[in-house]
Structure 1
Amino acid sequence: MKVYKSKIGIGLVLVIVLVFIISSYNLILDKSWGGLLFMTLTAAFIAHLFHQTYYTIDGNILKVKSGFLLKQSYEISQITRITETHNPISAPAASLDRLEINLDNGKNVIISPKLKYDFIDDLKKRNPKIKIELRTRSKAKQ
């Protein structure tokens, strides 16, 4: 069993932090302590999601976990294609440097493993039929 942590994108973190700082500043000026508490709890929740988002390859199963909200499993034998993407759609990914995994049943999942090339290699070992569409294969980018 191999666990791959999600890459945490600095750009995504900076945008979220900026939004929280501006919103919190306005809430402090308005003395809206309930709103500030809500913002603090929301920030803690997002930090938890970022820290607890990871992907596990266990035999022929890919498990995707994001905090306590999401826990999904996929048969690696059903993966047909892996494509690099920067799609900002909501996904169990803490970075915009993402991989879209397509399954033979028409479903897909978008994830962001920190060691994406190792992750892809691990999946290809289990299912050599997976088509890979990457912009670059430089391991220095990991």
Structure 2
Amino acid sequence: MITYPSKVGLELVLPISILCLGIASFMAYQGIWLGLGIILLCSLFIIHVFSTTVYQMDTDTLRISSGFLFQERIEIKSIRKVSKSRNILQSPALSLDRIELIYNRFDHILLSPRDKAGFVAELLKRNPSIEVQL
């Protein structure tokens, strides 16, 4: 099984970090300890998601994991097209430098593998009929 970690983009990390640090500082300054605890728990969850977002390929399946809440399996033979995307929709992608996979008849998902070229090359080895528009 080959694992491709997600690329982490500063365009997502910086606003989230500034927001969490700002709210946590305000809560600590005001002595709102329950609120501070909640912000710290949310921050730990975000760190967990960022550290566990990976794309794994075995012989015929692409497994997408992001934290413990998002797990998806896509048959590589069902992937029809891979194209470049900067779509900001929520997805298991930690950067805005994304690729869109179109699979089955109407399904699609946005991903951001750190090694985009290697990821696409590996998909093509397993399914040479994928249309690539990068």
TM-score (norm. length: structure 2): 0.95
Q: Is the aligned partner of 1:68 residue 2:96?
A: no
How far has the Cα of 1:67 moved from its partner?
Answer: 1.2
| CA deviation profile, 1:13-41 (whole Å, cap 9, x unmatched) | 11110111211122123211111110011
How far has the Cα of 1:95 moved from its partner?
Answer: 1.2
Distance 1:40 1:87 in 2: 29
Q: What's the secondary structure of 2:55's corresponding residue?
A: strand
Q: How many residues align?
A: 134
Amino acid in the other structure paired with 1:126: R
Distance 2:28 2:84 in 1: 41
- 1:137 is aligned to none
Distance 1:119 1:18 in 2: 31
Distance 1:21 1:13 in 2: 12
- 1:140 is aligned to none
Q: What's the secondary structure of 2:106's corresponding residue?
A: coil
- 1:90 is aligned to 90
TM-score (norm. length: structure 1): 0.90
Q: What's the secondary structure of 2:15's corresponding residue?
A: helix
- 1:46 is aligned to 46
- 2:31 is aligned to 31
Q: What's the secondary structure of 1:125's corresponding residue?
A: helix
Distance 1:22 1:65 in 2: 29
Q: RMSD in angstroms over aligned alpha carbons?
A: 1.0
How far has the Cα of 1:109 moved from its partner?
Answer: 1.0
| CA deviation profile, 1:43-95 (whole Å, cap 9, x unmatched) | 11000001001001100110001111111100111101111112121111111
How far has the Cα of 1:107 moved from its partner?
Answer: 0.6
Distance 2:131 2:23 in 1: 44
Percent sequence identity over aligned pairs: 35
Q: What's the secondary structure of 1:124's corresponding residue?
A: helix
- 2:2 is aligned to 2
Structure 1 moving runs of 4+ over 4 Å: none
Structure 1: gaps (5+ residues)? 135-142
Q: What's the secondary structure of 2:36's corresponding residue?
A: helix
- 1:113 is aligned to 113
How far has the Cα of 1:11 moved from its partner?
Answer: 2.1
